[in-house]
């Protein structure tokens, strides 16, 4: 859509622009709920779950991947990602006694998440809903719930609700290990700094990749979630053919398809995951790809273009590094003459079973 205004009379991308800018303040509001989140975490730890399962779709599925790393690394619990259709289509009813089931849905309106949660609770799971809608059916179905406090989100592409979900999941897992969210206290200020200082580099990236036909996104560790979210954002707003791989998986075959016509968006934040990306990007560089590195470790890797992000604890890096990704998706959509507030054929809630 190339008109000066969209069908609602607003400039294209105005909602997405505003919602990206709201994130630092939103993080401050969410940090104010640390005590309530800690109380919920205490109820969970009292149950001594032996295993965790994560149920989600779309952007929430990428937040669940982030939670998978958090729980496996910080709590040292085994974690699995639910295949909702095993319940909704095939009628599987596994015994979930002593299992923690986290259902992540920004709207709380996904029918398959509702069915998975109801079924899991009936079969012994401790069920927790992570949503942006405390009045949703999913919250009613779960035994416990966390409100991510992102507020109404009008753009179809999730931005602030995604990052709020990440921070809420971090605060929950950190509280479960006995923390008080100390590492996250500076996140609002660091998020504002990220938005302020990355503007010019993002604009340059928009000019650089405006005419790209395909893109590979990649990261390791916690940043794998950002790579997955980046591919979705670029695909749904800019209609790029974008594919996400973990850095390790990229080297196991797909790198053969990377060449001088391939744009690679690499998430590289300080820590073990970012360090592991060095060898990945050395190989990708040898294939001649145009590499855009985003993150606090971006200056330390092979890249054609870099978008820096302030340093923080590695497990919190995805909360910050997704911000320039969102800005890039917004900018590319507008540069291509589309309206990222209303991607073609997409709706805020997808009804699947």
How do residues 169-218 score in pLDDT, each as one tens digit? 999 999 999 999 999 999 999 999 999 999 999 999 999 999 988 899 99
Task: Give residue 350's pLDDT.
Answer: 56
pTM passes above 0.75:
yes
Q: Which CATH class is domain 187-335?
A: alpha beta
Q: 257: pLDDT confidence band, cut at 50, 70 and 90?
A: confident
Count CB-CB contacts under 10 A for residue 304: 14
- Which sequence spans correspond to the domains of the chain? 14-184, 187-335
Per DSSP, what are the bridge partners of residue 131? 147
Helix pair 14-21, 23-31: axis angle to 10 deg: 40
Mean pLDDT over each residue of the chain, to the nearest integer: 93
Distance in angstroms (rounded) separating the CA atoms of residues 210 and 206: 6
Query: What beta strand segments (E) does the chain contain?
Result: 51-56, 79-81, 99-104, 126-131, 144-147, 214-219, 241-246, 263-267, 290-295, 305-308
Which of 214, 329, 307 has the alpha carbon at shortest distance from 260? 214
- Is 187-335 in the same CATH topology as 14-184? yes
Looking at the structure, give the CATH architecture of the domain made up of residues 14-184.
Answer: 3-Layer(aba) Sandwich (3.40)
Distance from C-alpha of 344 to C-alpha of 151, rounded to nearest angstrom:
24
- Tokens, residue 278: 């060095």
CA distance 6 to 200: 26
Residue 246 CB: number of other CB atoms within 10 A?
Answer: 21
């Amino acid at each position: 859509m190339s008109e000066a205004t969209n069908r609602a009379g607003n400039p294209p991308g105005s909602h997405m622009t505003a919602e990206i800018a709201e994130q630092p303040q939103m993080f401050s509001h969410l940090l104010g709920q640390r005590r309530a989140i800690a109380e919920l975490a205490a109820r969970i730890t009292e149950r001594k779950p032996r295993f965790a399962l994560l149920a989600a779709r779309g952007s929430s599925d990428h937040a669940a991947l982030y939670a998978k790393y958090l729980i496996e690394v910080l709590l040292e619990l085994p974690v699995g990602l639910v295949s909702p259709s095993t319940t909704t289509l095939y009628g599987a009813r596994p015994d979930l006694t002593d299992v923690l089931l986290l259902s992540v849905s920004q709207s709380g309106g996904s029918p398959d998440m509702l069915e998975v949660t109801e079924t899991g609770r009936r079969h012994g799971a401790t069920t927790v809903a992570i949503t942006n809608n405390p009045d949703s059916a999913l919250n009613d179905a779960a035994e416990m719930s966390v409100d991510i406090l992102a507020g109404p989100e009008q753009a179809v592409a999730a931005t602030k609700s995604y990052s709020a979900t990440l921070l809420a999941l971090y605060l929950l897992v950190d509280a479960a290990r006995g923390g008080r969210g100390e590492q996250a206290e500076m996140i609002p200020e660091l998020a504002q700094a990220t938005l302020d200082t990355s503007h010019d580099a993002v604009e340059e990236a928009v000019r650089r990749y405006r005419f790209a036909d395909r893109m590979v996104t990649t990261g390791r560790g916690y940043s794998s979630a950002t790579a997955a979210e980046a591919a979705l954002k670029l695909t749904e707003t800019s209609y790029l053919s974008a594919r996400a791989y973990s850095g390790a998986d990229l080297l196991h075959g797909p790198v053969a398809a990377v060449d001088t016509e391939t744009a690679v968006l690499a998430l590289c934040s300080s820590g073990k995951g970012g360090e592991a990306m060095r060898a990945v990007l050395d190989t990708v560089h040898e294939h001649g790809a145009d590499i855009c590195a985003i993150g606090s470790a971006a200056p330390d890797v092979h890249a054609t273009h870099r978008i820096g992000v302030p340093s923080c604890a590695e497990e919190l890096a995805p909360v910050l590094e997704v911000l320039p990704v969102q800005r890039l998706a917004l900018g590319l959509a507008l540069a291509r003459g589309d309206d990222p507030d209303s991607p073609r054929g997409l709706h805020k809630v997808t009804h699947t079973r």
